[in-house]
Amino acid sequence: MKLIKKINYYFITISILILIVTSVITYFLLQALILEEVDETLLSEKNIVVKKIQTEDMPDSTFYSYSGNLELKLLNHPSVVKEQLIDTLIFVEGEGESVSFRQLSSTVNINGKSYLIVLRRSLVEKDDLVTGLAVLMVLVFISIIGLLILLNYWGERKLWKPFYNTINKLSGFSIKQINTLELPQVDIDEFNELNITLNYLTKKLKRDYLQLKEFSENASHEMQTPLAIIRSKLDVLIQDNTLSEYQHKSINSLYNAVKRLSRLNQSLNLLTKIENEEFDNKTDISLTDLTNHQLENLKELIEINNLKVEKRFLAKPSLKLNPFIAESLFGNIIANAIKHNIDGGTILIEIDKNKFSITNTGNKLDVNPEELFKRFKKGDTSSDSPGLGLSIVQKICEQNNININYTIDQNLHTIILTF
């Protein structure tokens, strides 16, 4: 969820809660204020009625007077009734229904006579006023929320535009490109500070990457020369017949160690280049042709191990890969199936429209197949392999959107590529 949408979500949720709480509080507050005003009006009218009784002669006999919202009754004997204000419902013929009234009941003693005074005020208009004010408040509140949402929407399109421009430029940035990332100055301090920081970090990242790349290439190159010299010297010594059997074994051990070190250097150099995505020029590679080519290159190794190879080509798919990377990927997979096979074993290669699988016989492993994709992880610790073949394969698959799966069923090892 975008930040602006999340802000709107929290804002609207909190606003609705505030609206509900304030509406309830306002409703009861208005009711209380209106009742207080009505009560004051009734008490004022009562005082007017009392003054009128005092100034006018009233009959001595008991009488009952009803005039609109006023009832006046002469009591037979002096009485004191506590003044009472209540809400009541009275049927009004003109309305055809019961209407809510506020009623004041009180007794007064004037010139030795007791009178019951009952005054009423309709609350219908007051209720309509409260309802109208509540509705008006809700409408105003909703309008304010709608206006703020529109402002946020405008802010997302206008105020946040520099931020999205920065994200777009950053997503297209690569440390391998010649030009450095140049984010412009903007009129929003926070975004401007972000752009300045990103400009600095990307320049530093590019500089560090180039220094590390140069170091790795120089180290790899410089290692090849002494290794080649050592191997050539050892070749000469191996052919020397004057050496003892012990000396020959020692030289052979040194030769194998140098050979292994050379392969390790080449594999690490290749893995570094793959991780840095230095192989960009991709072309359509025929998978069946590439497989046949790799099998032809490894024909002697297959014959030495007495392996039987079966091919099932159900389709002729093409992959968009760098030619060197394609050879490294499928060359490693096929070579792995040959090297880790058993004498007289089998290899089954299947190719379909979107799948490549290779199954070979081999020894049962004590490790999880997924562990073999880690660097320097080997199923057979006695092997002279550097343990980087499947790491190279996995890295190539990751960068080319190819899924790889390695399974073991008894003595059958299967690697499946889906694309």
- Summarised one tens digit per residue, pLDDT across range 109-155 is 877 788 888 888 877 777 677 777 777 877 887 888 788 777 777 76
Residue 187, SS3?
coil
CA separation, residue 110 to residues 29, 46, 103, 244, 335 (Å): 38, 14, 22, 148, 123
C-alpha to C-alpha distance for 335 and 314, rounded to whole angstroms: 22
Contact 277, 322 (CB under 8 A): no
pLDDT for the residue numbered 17:
85
Whether the predicted model's global pTM rises above the 0.75 cut: no
Contact 92, 98 (CB under 8 A): yes
CA separation, residue 325 to residues 54, 108, 266 (Å): 116, 110, 14
Number of continuous H segments (helices) and E segments (strands) in the chain: 9, 12
pLDDT for the residue numbered 381:
46
pLDDT band of residue 360 (cuts 50, 70, 90) is: very high
pLDDT band of residue 261 (cuts 50, 70, 90) is: confident
Which residue has better confidence, 156 or 60?
A: 156
pLDDT band of residue 81 (cuts 50, 70, 90) is: low
Which residue has better confidence, 87 or 386?
A: 87
CA separation, residue 152 to residues 7, 158, 170, 249, 358 (Å): 9, 10, 25, 79, 56
Q: Which long-range contacts (CB under 8 A, 24 or more apart) does 86-92 make?
A: 87/123, 88/120, 90/120
Which residue has better confidence, 177 or 374?
A: 177
Is the pLDDT assigned to residue 216 strictly greater than 70?
no
Q: Which amino acid is at 294?
A: Q
Over residues 266-288, the pLDDT tens digits come to 666 666 666 666 667 788 889 89
Q: List strand residue ranges (DSSP E) for 175-301, in order.
A: 283-286
- Return the minimum-mean-pLDDT range out of 127-136, 219-228, 394-403: 219-228
Mean residue pLDDT across the chain:
78
pLDDT above 70 as % of the chain: 78
In this structure, the number of other CB atoms found within 10 A of the CB of residue 413 comes to: 24
Q: Going by DSSP bridges, is the β-strand pair 97-110/308-313 parallel, antiparallel, or unpaired?
A: unpaired
Show the domains of the chain with their CATH numbers. Answer: 3-154 (no CATH), 171-278 (1.20.58), 283-418 (3.30.565.10)
